[in-house]
Amino acid sequence: MRDPYEVLEINKGAGKEEIQKAYRRLVKKYHPDQYRNHPLEKLAEEKMAEINAAYDYLMKNGAGDYYKGSGQSRGGGREYDDSFFQRIRMLISNGDYHTAEQLLDQSSTRTAEWYYLKGIIYQRKGWYGQALSHLQTAVNMEPGNAEYRSTLNAMNYDNRVYKERSSQYGGRDVDDLCTICQCLICTDCCCECMGSDFITCC
């Protein structure tokens, strides 16, 4: 997770009252309801999820636990560099999924953030099965992370809607090639019966 103080745009060590004030200000600015049917709608949802995660973390744990937990790596005793994942997030935000994925694959650190970002890349590339699997792993590793949970829930919802719509057409894609061909042939036959021609080569 990105530095929660940075996310909430407040100084490190700020008190609860200042955290709450910053949270309310950012909610007014980024709440997704203000961006419905807007090109920035998805970005606002992601930003709001990050703000919620930062707020929840600071209100529950406080600054001491965050800095104590982020200073060590998961193994080997090396310093854990949070800026690595910040760079990956920036690459994803800029649409450079190839570089972001390459850097993730080169990393030996498989934290919840690693699985989350890998899942986001798969989602952006349209590989929804892999995306769901990685996002679920991230949530399982950090069940209290609101950002991970929110993204997974949104994907599951979209997946359900897609399946429901597909089932209305017998489980097939609406505009598959066979359906298109059948429509064209039927149209051509009807036109010929009425003395005209829809497909001139037939």
Q: Is residue 25 very low, low, confident or very high in pLDDT (cuts 50, 70, 90)?
A: very high
C-beta separation of 113 from 1 below 8 A: yes
Q: Sketch the domain layout of the chain as residue ranges.
A: 1-70
The confidence score (pLDDT) of residue 198 equals 56
pLDDT at 180 > cutoff 60: yes
Mean local confidence (pLDDT), 21-31: 89
C-beta separation of 145 from 1 below 8 A: yes
pTM of the model: 0.45
The confidence score (pLDDT) of residue 70 equals 44
Contacts of the segment 143-150: beta carbons below 8 A, 24+ positions apart: 144/56, 144/60, 145/1, 145/53, 145/112, 145/116, 146/49, 146/52, 146/53, 146/56, 147/1, 147/49, 147/50, 147/52, 147/53, 147/116, 148/53, 148/112, 148/116, 150/45, 150/49, 150/52
pLDDT, tens only, 57-104: 888 775 444 444 444 333 333 233 467 888 888 889 888 888 889 888
pLDDT, tens only, 128-177: 888 999 999 999 988 888 889 888 888 888 767 666 666 665 545 445 55
Residue type, 49: A
**Whole-angstrom distance, CA of residue 154 vs CA of residue 71:** 31
Place domain 1-70 in its CATH homologous superfamily. Answer: DnaJ domain (1.10.287.110)
The confidence score (pLDDT) of residue 181 equals 65
